[in-house]
Amino acid sequence: MNAPAGARTPTRLIPPEILAGLGNLELVARAVVDGMLNGLHRTDVFGFSQEFAEYRDYVPGDDPRFVDWNAYARTGRPYVKRFEGETNTRLMLMLDVSASMGFGGGLGGRKASKLDYSRWLAAALAWLAHRQHDAVGLLAFHDTVAAFQPPSGRGVAGERLFHTLDGLRAGSGTDWPAALRHLGARVSRRGILAVLSDFYCAPDVLGQALRGLCVRGHDVFLLHVLDPAERRPDVGRGAALRDAETAEVMEVDGQELRSGYPERLAEHERGLRRAAASAGADYVRVDTDQPLDRALFEYLRFRARQS
């Protein structure tokens, strides 16, 4: 991976098995984001300059941590510090919570499912936006909308978003067009849309659904989350596989699956990349055994290209 100018490769990478032991989503997000940012030079490329710029009047909903209490003591009026790195970007997190996202085992064995990993990553993206004083929202879906929270920069909204993420569980099937229509109808202002999913869907259907959002000015960033076992299936000579979302059972030959499936999955990924590119979106694949820092670093590269 090539780092942008003015930055170096992330350090202090935290493996997923360590994150599994932290439990609290906000603690996970802080650990990942702070560790990553400590491994980067401060650079305007990523917009993380935290040099003081000016004061503005406090308004209800502002984070009290940014109130200058010394100025309040002198003037009797609350002022909030603004920083050079503030971007006022609106980030919408779109999280697939369909049944297939539950694949990967339980946290009791310190092995994250795709949904666990995606919830951590969504929380880290939200915390990253919080550091920039950006508004963050959430849409979680399977075959219906499981949770929706419009973008907001208020502290209470951030706490509610972490609480919502923490309570999400894998549901049933997936309805991409319906979820994206729901999003388009409720989020009209331009912003960044970060989509986290295993993308078990037809690439052309996904591309068509995304195209409308991109045309309306949204910057779309797709994070394709897979478990390593999905890329390298290990089954016996004969096996029966059940679809997690449709419950359909299929008899497969283990040898044929091991030899032919990786190429079919690779072709599916190529189709997703083509669909993303044709819609004007960015695509990144991440595996659940990789530290989250790498996905966040790619997100920062994406942010830098949008500025």
**Would you say domain 16-46+87-306 falls under CATH 2.40.30.10?**
no
Mean residue pLDDT across the chain: 79
Top-confidence residue, 13 or 2: 13
DSSP SS3 for 108: helix
For 181-190, what is each residue's pLDDT tens digit? 899 888 888 8
Long-range own/partner contacts, residues 109-114 (CB < 8 A, 24 or more apart): 110/17, 110/20, 110/21, 111/17, 111/20, 112/16, 112/17, 112/19, 112/20, 112/288, 113/170, 113/227, 113/288, 114/198, 114/225, 114/226, 114/227, 114/288
Residue 223 in tokens: 């994070």
Residues of the chain with CATH 3.40.50.410: 16-46+87-306
Cβ-contact 245, 99 below 8 angstroms = yes
Residues forming a β-bridge with 224: 197, 285
For 120-144, what is each residue's pLDDT tens digit? 999 999 998 887 778 999 999 999 9
Top-confidence residue, 13 or 265: 265
The answer, yes or no, to whether residue 42 has pLDDT greater than 80, is no
Top-confidence residue, 122 or 21: 122
What pTM was computed for the model? 0.76
Contacts of 292 (CB under 8 A, 6+ apart): 14, 16, 19, 32, 117, 120, 121, 124
Q: What's the pLDDT at 207?
A: 92
Question: With bands split at pLDDT 50, 70 and 90, how would you rate the model's confidence at 3?
Answer: very low
Long-range own/partner contacts, residues 100-103 (CB < 8 A, 24 or more apart): 100/170, 100/174, 100/198, 100/200, 100/244, 100/245, 101/170, 101/197, 101/198, 101/225, 102/169, 102/170, 102/244, 103/198, 103/227, 103/229, 103/230, 103/244
Q: What's the pLDDT at 119?
A: 95
Q: What's the pLDDT at 213?
A: 86
The mean pLDDT of 245-263, rounded to a whole number, is 69
Spatial CA neighbour of 193 closest among 136, 235, 243: 136
Tokens 């986290």 map to which residue?
A: 196
For 182-236, what is each residue's pLDDT tens digit? 998 888 888 999 999 999 999 998 998 888 888 888 999 999 999 988 877 666 5
The answer, yes or no, to whether residue 282 has pLDDT greater than 90, is yes
The mean pLDDT of 91-100, rounded to a whole number, is 96
Question: With bands split at pLDDT 50, 70 and 90, how would you rate the model's confidence at 44?
Answer: very low
Spatial CA neighbour of 190 closest among 281, 92, 302: 92
The answer, yes or no, to whether residue 79 has pLDDT greater than 80, is no
DSSP SS3 for 53: strand
Cβ-contact 162, 26 below 8 angstroms = yes
Q: What's the pLDDT at 36?
A: 76
Ranges 62-66, 69-73, 154-158, 279-283, most confident: 279-283
